[in-house]
Amino acid sequence: MGRFVKIVVALFLILTIFGCDSSKHVEREKSRDSRVDMGYVDFKRFAQERPCAEVRFMCLPESQDKSWQEQNLSDGLDRFELTPEVERKYERLMAEWNREYAEYMSRPKEERSEPLKKSYLVREFFDRVEEKRFLVYMEEELAKEFPGFWRDVPKEVRYRWIRRAMNKAKRFGIKSKGPGAMVELCARIGLDFDKDPKWDYITKFIAKDPKNYVSIAINYIDWTVFGKTHARTGTRITDWLMRRAHPGLPYPKKPYPKLND
């Protein structure tokens, strides 16, 4: 009798373990199939409701709205030019600041009770030049990454669009003065992606960790929508590179290659 009970218990445990494992397998499959429920976007769906399917400024939904394009930036940065005179002034003030800082740090600690600060005017000028440099850099980067991205769009409008992308980064809590990743994301799916239901899973994903997840979302979109095999940095897209993308994002229809493949 005792032996019979032991056999029954053993069979029960085996069936329980097998059942749990099968259940987990089913859940994993459901998770993979959830890409449809979560609004998985492939190229066909991406192209819907867009003026055109390419990654170009004129294909973005906001390109059809002329109202913002005609509005000058309140700080005039869209019209501010990095002339040789401006660059020389920047270099001169930077050299002066470096000398002041070196002299300040050479003092005994007790004489450095108050931190050294740039004057308001100098700080404002530095910030202005550095932000304009960022606008120019991103304008050139998008033109290089996506040939024909801007076409004949006026320079001022280009800078206004990039500033709007920068403001989007701020709304996600990104404090960087040069939020290049957010500009790159908006170049692909538009400034108002967070208001578009089909990109809801992207919005929720990057909201968890905006500082780090925007770049992951870009790689994910490049793989699932555009069929790219490499990130914009040149790194090959693999399961290891995308290890933090899931389960926050739907599993791609085409699996990532293994790191060592």
pLDDT category of residue 111 using cuts at 50, 70 and 90: confident
What pLDDT score was predicted for residue 2?
Answer: 57
CA–CA separation, 142 and 139 (whole Å): 6
Write the DSSP symbol of residue 175: -
Helix ranges, the chain (H): 2-37, 43-47, 66-69, 84-105, 120-145, 155-171, 180-189, 200-208, 210-224
pLDDT-wise least confident of 31-35, 76-80, 107-111, 138-142:
31-35
pLDDT tens-digit map of 202-237: 999 999 999 999 999 999 999 999 999 999 989 999
pLDDT tens-digit map of 54-69: 999 999 999 999 999 9
What pLDDT score was predicted for residue 236?
Answer: 96
Encode burial over 123-156: b for 16+ CB neighbours within 10 A, e otherwise. Answer: eebeebbebbebbbebbebbeeebeebbeebeee
pLDDT tens-digit map of 132-175: 999 999 999 999 999 999 999 999 999 999 999 999 999 999 99
Amino acid (1-letter code) at residue 12: F
pLDDT category of residue 23 using cuts at 50, 70 and 90: very low
163 in Cβ contact with 186 (< 8 Å) = no
pLDDT, greater one: 15 or 136: 136
Query: Over pLDDT 70: what percentage of the chain?
Result: 85
pLDDT(123) > 80: yes
pLDDT category of residue 3 using cuts at 50, 70 and 90: low
Contacts for 175 with CB less than 8 Å, ≥ 6 apart: none
pLDDT-wise least confident of 94-98, 202-206, 257-261:
257-261
